[in-house]
Structure 1
Amino acid sequence: MIHDPSTRRIHVIQGEYKVSSDPDVVLCTILGSCVAACMRDPVAGVGGLNHFLLPGNVGSGATGTEASRYGVHLMELLINGLLKAGARRDRLEAKIIGGAKTIATFSNIGEQNAAFAQQFLKDEGIKIVGINVGGDNGRKLEYWPVSGRARQIPLTGAETQKTVAREQSVPKPEVRKPAETSIEFF
């Protein structure tokens, strides 16, 4: 692989999304059971990527940190970010990548993540132009948001286990007790 010095690499970690219209930007992430949705508007020349840990939606009263782990939250943020950058919803196209079954004894959260992303995009009327999900190993993803090019590099077993450890070490949001207050009514 030849290194292109004009390319700017932007890393997208779990719970984040990034949007760019710079043709020299490549968005990068490492996925285990997590899923990344890569979306773009080819006419507007803008695209982006998200990286979510859990399918579906978070319950009411969740903090921003907790919500950022869930697919619905990050899918909406990515779509809104693209629209703010000049994309049109009717021209959006998407690729879904990730969702490996990285631990044999756990429920297959990766499969659930991938199924969620596909259903979400179908429900929103966004065309899916590529899917690469499942398998037993994680993957490194590079996505060029303007051209829509995506490259995946399979991780070795040891690299996948490091990714799984990172995914599992995401701190759970602390549950705050309501402040104790006393009120006297006269």
Structure 2
Amino acid sequence: MFHKAILPPGGDLARVTVMQGQALASADPGLEYSTVLGSCVATCLFDPQARVGGMNHFLLAQPPAGYEGASVDEHYGVYLMELLVNEMIGKGARKSHLKAHLYGGANVNRNMMRIGTVNAEFARKFLVNEGITLAREDLGGTQARRVDFRPASGQVRLRTVEDRLAPPVQPTTRPARALGDVELF
């Protein structure tokens, strides 16, 4: 729950959804970032002195070993964490003043690799390596989360998404044997 609202004249907030692969920063008191997370992680950064905040949303921590993509893939935390810090600095924040909140990293599908755990561990390690204070985290578990963040005040509202409201995970089924012919050439 938000503690005290700092709203622009008129009291209306502009809500911006932060999608996978995005990192956004602002000092606008009339703005609220919002995202929904499962195994993904969102980092909310805030500089209380500059009153600048930002949020990112990453799908995977980093590319697989041996990956040699021709371009940067914005869905990886290794890219989006750096991008968020740089966006914040570009808006007047100082890295030494940053406070972080981490959310998400759930393992929502029990039949899959523990992607959420890997994402959470990566985000924590990144903050330690960069000397950024971790003020709060809500990581892990099996439930999806919705995060609303007001970048100019650093206020965060977190809600879990009930399992019954989350879409069911359907395992893929393959035929027991191949049907049809394949011609190799």
2:33 partner SS = strand
Residue 22 (1) aligns with residue 54 (2): no
Paired with 2:127 and 2:63, the residues of 1 have a C-alpha distance of 15
Contact 1:14 1:53 in 2 (8 A): yes
CA shift for structure 1 position 57: 4.5
Quickly say closer, same or farther: Cα 1:62–1:90, change in 2 above 3 A.
Answer: same
Residue 151 (1) aligns with residue 151 (2): no
Structure 1 residue ranges, 4+ long, deviating more than 4 angstroms after superposition = none
Paired with 2:134 and 2:91, the residues of 1 have a C-alpha distance of 20
Paired with 1:61 and 1:100, the residues of 2 have a C-alpha distance of 27
Give TM-score, length-normalised by structure 1.
Answer: 0.80
Name the aligned partner's letter for residue 71 of structure 1.
G
Aligned counterpart, 1:183: none
CA shift for structure 1 position 159: 3.6
The structure in which a higher percent of residues are helix is: 1
Structure 1, unaligned runs of 5 or more: 166-186
Structure 2, unaligned runs of 5 or more: 2-6, 171-185
Residue 60 of structure 1: which of 68, 71, 79 is its match? 68
Contact 1:35 1:113 in 2 (8 A): yes
CA shift for structure 1 position 117: 0.1
In the alignment of these two chains, the number of paired residues is 160
Identity among equivalent pairs (%): 41
Aligned counterpart, 1:131: 137
Paired with 1:142 and 1:113, the residues of 2 have a C-alpha distance of 20
Paired with 1:89 and 1:160, the residues of 2 have a C-alpha distance of 36
Quickly say closer, same or farther: Cα 1:133–1:88, change in 2 above 3 A.
Answer: same
What is the root-mean-square deviation in Å for CA atoms of aligned residues? 1.9
Paired with 2:98 and 2:70, the residues of 1 have a C-alpha distance of 29
2:62 partner SS = coil
1:21-71 Cα distance to aligned partner (Å, 9 max, x none):
01111100000000000001110111100000101346333434xx11111
Larger Rg: 2
CA shift for structure 1 position 158: 4.1
